[in-house]
């Protein structure tokens, strides 16, 4: 179990580095769009004026709860806004460290689950299939069911998550799981 924990820490670090490369470098411009200073200031002032009173949260704008907003939804533009009235630091180390811990915990669960799978190739195949299935369901299903969402963001996120998870899991499987599962003990 100690080897799985060490492998989870190292694999989590690999995931963390890949996430940093994907989101903290110019590569993130493949998924994120930006506005000029004047447009950003106008939109920020509008959000402060219209959303601050109702508080932090996710806003589907317009919301199809009234006939007026349903009509607006049909004509566009539409958006999903994640609103935080207080702002945050561009490099929030608390979030980055919590993400690192989350990667370790996730890989620890993967390592425990794979102890019963025999052989390197079977472990890689099992992990890859679960990773693809999970990403299809939890990430790519979002723009499928919510057609207003931008595909470029979700495809970039899926590819980044698949690469990061695959690399972290590879480290764990290749160097820290025993070549064969432990034999069951009879009591």
pLDDT digits (tens, 9 = 90+) for 108-118: 999 999 988 99
With beta carbons less than 8 A apart as the criterion, state whether 164 and 15 touch. Answer: yes
Average pLDDT score over the chain: 92
pLDDT of residue 148: 82
Max mean pLDDT among 47-56, 90-99, 141-150 falls in 47-56
Distances (CA, A) of 83 to 6, 87, 94, 99, 120: 38, 9, 19, 21, 44
**What are the extents of the domains in the chain?**
1-24+91-179, 35-88
pLDDT surpassing 90 at residue 147? no
pLDDT of residue 181: 67
* Tokens describing residue 118: 């025999």
- Mean pLDDT (whole number) for 132-156: 92
CA separation for the pair 176, 174 (Å, rounded): 6
Name the 3-class secondary structure at 57. strand
pLDDT digits (tens, 9 = 90+) for 31-88: 999 999 999 999 999 999 999 999 999 999 999 889 999 999 999 999 989 999 988 8
pLDDT of residue 182: 65
* pTM for this model (two decimals): 0.83
* Tokens describing residue 102: 């989350």
State the Cα angle at 95 between 93 and 99, rounded to 5°: 115
Q: Which residues contact 51 (CB under 8 A, 6 or more apart)?
A: 59, 81, 83, 85
pLDDT of residue 93: 85
């Amino acid at each position: 179990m100690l080897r799985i924990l060490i492998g989870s820490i190292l694999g989590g670090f690999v995931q963390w580095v890949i996430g940093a490369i994907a989101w903290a470098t110019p590569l993130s411009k493949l998924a994120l769009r930006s506005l000029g200073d004047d447009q950003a200031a106008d939109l920020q002032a509008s959000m402060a004026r219209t959303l601050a009173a109702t508080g932090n949260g996710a806003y589907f704008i317009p919301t199809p709860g009234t006939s007026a907003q349903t009509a607006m939804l049909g004509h566009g533009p539409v958006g999903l806004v994640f609103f935080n009235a207080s702002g945050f630091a561009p490099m929030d180390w608390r979030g980055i460290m919590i993400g690192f811990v989350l990667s370790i915990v996730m890989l620890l669960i993967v390592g425990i689950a794979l102890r019963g799978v025999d052989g390197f190739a079977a472990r890689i195949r099992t992990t890859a299939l679960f990773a693809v299935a999970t990403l299809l369901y939890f990430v790519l299903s979002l723009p499928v069911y919510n057609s207003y969402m931008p595909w470029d963001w979700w495809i970039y996120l899926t590819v980044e998550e698949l690469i990061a998870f695959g690399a972290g899991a590879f480290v764990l499987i290749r160097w820290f799981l025993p070549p064969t599962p432990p034999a069951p003990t009879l009591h």
